[in-house]
Structure 1
C-alpha cells in the first residue's frame, strides 16, 4: 500500500513514467482482480470480473522452469536499494519491501480492511480512538519479539521533524503529534501502549483513511530505533540495504541491476511460507514476455491486447488472467486559465472529444470509457444517473456558442480577441489522443496543438500550472478519496486549479465516516457533482493480462496488494 512519492499529485505524475511499481508491466501497482469471468463490458456496467485461461499443457513448461523446485521468480523494473518502508521514493523499492515488512492491517481483494499482524481492532463510538490487538507471539525475522512498543516507535518516527518520506502521518491527526513534531513535547500523547499486544491511538479528527495509515508496516524499535535521536534520521540510511521486518520473507542479498533474493521467514506469524526462495529479477519490461516464455520468470504482467493474450494462451503452460486495472486515465484541464473557468466550456470539451474512439484505438477492446473518477473495482464505483457525455459535436458547439466563443474567419473560435487554442502536453508522438483530438476539436472550432516533452518538463509545468491540457493516469487507488482529494479548493496538489464548494464539502464528508455504506452514498453524490462540473476530462478504464507459470499454485494477484498477499501461500505443483 504505497504511493511512491509524497502526495497523490506526485503519484499521478509518477504513473506517467513508471509502468509497473508492482511487478507488473501494465500498471504502477500489480493490479489483477480476483473475481472471475468475462473481460468486456459497456462503459456503464460495473464489472470486477476477470477472464481466466487455464494452462493446457504443463509438459510445455520451459526446462528452466521445471528445474526450479523451491524458488519463485517475478520481475521488478528498477529498484534503488532503499529497502525501508516509509523512506523510499522509488515505487519499485516499495514493492521490494512488501515481502519483508508486514502491516497491522491490509486490504482484501475487494478493497476492504483485513487484519494481518493485528488480530482485530476496535474503534470508539466517536470514531477517534483506534485500539489494535496484536496477534500473540509475533516476531521479527531475527526472532526478536514484535510488540506494541514497535508500533508506537513506528508512528513516532513518522512524526519526527527530519522525516521527509512519502507517508503523511498528519492526515491521522494523532493527539499530540503536531506538538511532538515541533519539539514541544517528548512523547506523543495520543499513542498509548496498553500492554505488549495492545496499543491505543487517539486522534483529533475523523478520517476514513486513518485505519490503514495507523495500521501500516511495523518497524523494529530495537533495530531501527537503537540510535534514534529526535530530529536526526540520517543513521537509518546505513540500514536501507539491511532490512529487518516481520513479513513472510527475509532479505538475503541485493545485486544492483540483477536481482533481489529472499528466503522464507520461519518466524512469520502464519507459519513458514511454502516456497523457500523468492527472487525479484531486475528486468527491462520490454523483454518480460520473452523472459516468461523462456522460463526466466514465473510471473509477469502486461498491458492487455489481442496479440499478447493470444501469444500467452498459445504457450500452453501459462495460467492467464485478464481483467480490469485499479486506476483510470484522464486529461488534466487547467481550470485556472480564463478559457477553462466556464463550466459550460469544460462540458463542451468533453462532449466534443470522441473518447470511445480513443479507448478503442489505444486498448483495442481491452478498455472502456471512464465516466466517474474511481476505478471499476472500487466499492465506491457507481455511474447510475451519470451523464456519459457521449460524443456530440453539435452539443459541444451549442455550449461554446452560449459561452461566447464565436467562430472566426479562419474557423477558430475566439472571445475577447483571444483565439481558442489548446496546447496539450504528452510524452509520446504516437499518443492516440493527438490525431483524434485534433480532428474533433477542429470540427468544433478549437485549435489543438500537441507538445511532446520529457517527464520532468511535464511535471514542472503541471506543478506551476503552466499548461492547458496534459495526459495522465492515476496510480493504484486504495481508497476512493485518493484520486478526488486533489480537487479540493486550496489543496497543494490541485494541479487542475479547480474549486467547487460543494465538491469540497463532499470530499470532507467522504472521509468523516468509517461506514462504507454511508461513504458509497456520499461518493455517488460527489461523482454527480464532478460530472456536472468536470474538473478534468476522464478518458479510460483499462485491462491487463497476468501470466502465471502453470506449475505455480496459490498465486492470486489482486487489485490492492498485487502479488504480496499471495506470497506466503504459493507453492510448486507436485
Structure 2
C-alpha cells in the first residue's frame, strides 16, 4: 500500500532513502517529500485530500514573507550530523544540508542521487558506486570518493557512539578496524576508493536491505570534518556547524525555537526557488494556531476530526492525510527485573485498553498496533495475537509471574512494590490523553504508575544516550525496508544505539540474520512474518498505535510532494511560494 501526494500542477519524481528514526507522537512527522501535480489528482485513493476552500485567504503574516518558508517541527536535539542524527527532527536538518549516495522513489525503490549509477557483483557482496562529477560542498570543494570513504569510515570508528553502526558492521574488515584502539589498522578493508568518482563497498555476506538502508546517509566533507582515528569528538564538536552539499545552507540554531537556512545558490540539482527556510518549533498546543494564522506554512498535526475542521475553517490550507510508515509504542527497560518476565509484559498489554485510547484520541484516524511493522510495509501480517483488553487475563498473568496483591491493593514481589516510573514528553495531547488511561487501567491491576514529563530532546538523551529509564513512550518513523536489525538487534544494545530497551533474543537474531541474507522478497516476507510473530509474543515494546499522517499546507506553497516513503525535505529545492 504505497501512496503519494503532490501539491502543484506539474509533475515530478525521485525522493530519499529512509532510515529508522525515533519521534514523538501527536505531532509526528514520519515520511514525506516534495514534487508536483494538482492536489486534487492524488495518485492513490489511500491518500485523502481536503482542498482549501478559499486559497486567497492567506494571512498577512504569511504574505509579508514572500521569500521565506516556515515549516513547523518538534524541537530537535541539536545532533546536526548525518551519522549522529537520532530523531526525525534532527534528520530534517541533515537532509536539508547533506546529500547521500542514493535516494528512493515513492514506492521505496532506490534511485540515483550523489551516485549516478551503481553495480552489484555477481556474488551480491560488492557494491560499486559511480559518483556524479561536479557536485560541490558549500565551501566550494568538490565531493569525491574520498569524502564518501571518510563518512562511512567514521561510522566504523572505535569511539563512534551513534545509532548508525548497522550500516557498516557487515563490511569486510569492520571488526578489525573498529576494535583497533591503538591505530594499527588505518583503513577499513571493505571500502575501496577506485578513483575520484568511483568507490566500492564489500560485505562479508549478502545483505538484502543494503541499498535501501545503508547508502542514503549524507556525505560529509573530509577536509571540513576530518579527525584522527579515535578522536571522533572533533566531528561531534561541529554538530551546530553542519556543512554539506545539500539544497540549503545552515545559518543559525536557536535551541527550542528555530533553525534558519538559506538557499544554496550553487546546488547541483538547481538553486532552490525559496530563498529562506525556517524550521520553527511548535507543539500540540500551538500547531493549529500557527497554521491558521500564517505563523507556519507547513506542519504535521494529529489526525483528529477537531484539528481537521479547524484547518478547513481557515479556508487557505490544503490538508492531506494517509496511513503513516510508523507506529507508536511504550518501551520498557528489559534490564530491570520487573520487566524481564514476558508474562508481566503480556499482562500490561492485556491490561491496557488500547482501543479505548485510540477511540478517545484519534477518533477514527488511527488503530491499535500489535507488532513493530507499519501497515504500509510489504512484510505486514495481521495473523498475530491482538491482545484485546482483558483485565482478568492480565491479573492471571501477574499472579503467575509472582506479583501478588497486598492488603493495600498494590502488587508486590519479594517485598518490592510494583511501581513504574514512566518518562514521557511535554506539549503533546497524545500523552495528555494516554496518561490517565494508563494510570487508571494499570492501577486497577495493582500497579502504581508515576509519569515524569520532560522535553522530547531530553527524553531522547535519557533513553538512547544514557539508557537511564524504566519506561517511556515514543513513535518510530520507519525505514523503507522492514529489516528490524537497526532497532532490535543485539548490536544496537549500546549507549547511542536504537535498541534502548535492551531486548536480547537468540531467535530474533537468527531470523534477522536470515532475512538479511535472503534476496527473494517472498521468502524474506515469510521470514519477517515469523519475526513479527516472535516480537508479538515476546513484546520488547508495548505496541500501541497506528495513525494517519495529516499535514496542513498553506495554499501559497507549491511543489511539495508527500508520501509514506518521502520526507518534505527531499525535493524542497523544487518548491516555491506563490501568493494569490
TM > 0.5 between the two?
yes
Contact 2:406 2:412 in 1 (8 A): yes
Contact 1:36 1:50 in 2 (8 A): no
Post-superposition CA distance 1:248-307 (Å, at most 9, x none): 233455677555131143341x3333x141311433434333232232322111122222
Counterpart in the other structure of 2:217: 216
Corresponding residue pairs, total: 541
1:193 aligns with 2:190: no
Post-superposition CA distance 1:31-59 (Å, at most 9, x none): 5899999xxxxxxxxx9933211112122
The SS at the match of 1:328 is strand
**What's the offset of the Cα at 1:419?**
8.4
> What are the ranges of 5 or more consecutive residues in structure 1 without an aligned counterpart?
20-24, 38-46
Contact 2:424 2:473 in 1 (8 A): no
Q: Report the aligned-residue RMSD.
A: 4.1
Contact 1:261 1:278 in 2 (8 A): yes
**What's the offset of the Cα at 1:452?**
2.2
Structure with the larger RCO, 1 or 2 (CA within 8 Å, 6+ apart):
2
The SS at the match of 2:527 is helix
The SS at the match of 1:521 is helix
1:480 aligns with 2:482: yes
The SS at the match of 2:535 is helix
Counterpart in the other structure of 1:504: 509
Give the distance between the partners of 1:32 and 1:554, measured in 2 at CA: 10
- Partner residue of 2:71 out of 53, 62, 74: 74
Change (3 A) 1:413 1:139: closer
1:555 aligns with 2:560: yes
Change (3 A) 1:508 1:295: same
- TM-score normalised by L of structure 2: 0.79
The SS at the match of 1:60 is coil
- 1:79-478 matches, cutoff 5 A: 83-87=80-84, 92-161=89-158, 163-168=160-165, 171-181=168-178, 182=180, 183-211=183-211, 212-225=213-226, 228-233=227-232, 236=235, 243-251=242-250, 257=257, 259-268=259-268, 270-273=269-272, 275-285=273-283, 286-333=285-332, 343-344=342-343, 346-383=345-382, 385-396=383-394, 421=418, 423=420, 425-427=422-424, 431-437=432-438, 440-441=441-442, 446-455=445-454, 467=470, 470-478=471-479
Change (3 A) 1:219 1:496: closer
> What are the ranges of 5 or more consecutive residues in structure 2 without an aligned counterpart?
1-15
Contact 1:75 1:283 in 2 (8 A): yes
Give the distance between the partners of 2:210 and 2:351, measured in 1 at CA: 40
Post-superposition CA distance 1:425-469 (Å, at most 9, x none): 2447975445444554566xx3021112245699769967874xx
**What's the offset of the Cα at 1:522?**
1.3
Contact 2:409 2:446 in 1 (8 A): no
Give the distance between the partners of 1:461 and 1:86, measured in 2 at CA: 18
Give the distance between the partners of 1:457 and 1:73, measured in 2 at CA: 26
Contact 1:150 1:220 in 2 (8 A): yes
**What's the offset of the Cα at 1:336?**
5.8
Post-superposition CA distance 1:149-182 (Å, at most 9, x none): 3212322333344544443267433223444442
- TM-score normalised by L of structure 1: 0.79
The SS at the match of 1:389 is coil
Give the distance between the partners of 1:510 and 1:535, measured in 2 at CA: 19
**What's the offset of the Cα at 1:361?**
1.9
Change (3 A) 1:276 1:533: closer
Give the distance between the partners of 2:61 and 2:509, measured in 1 at CA: 55
Change (3 A) 1:339 1:132: same
Change (3 A) 1:370 1:318: same
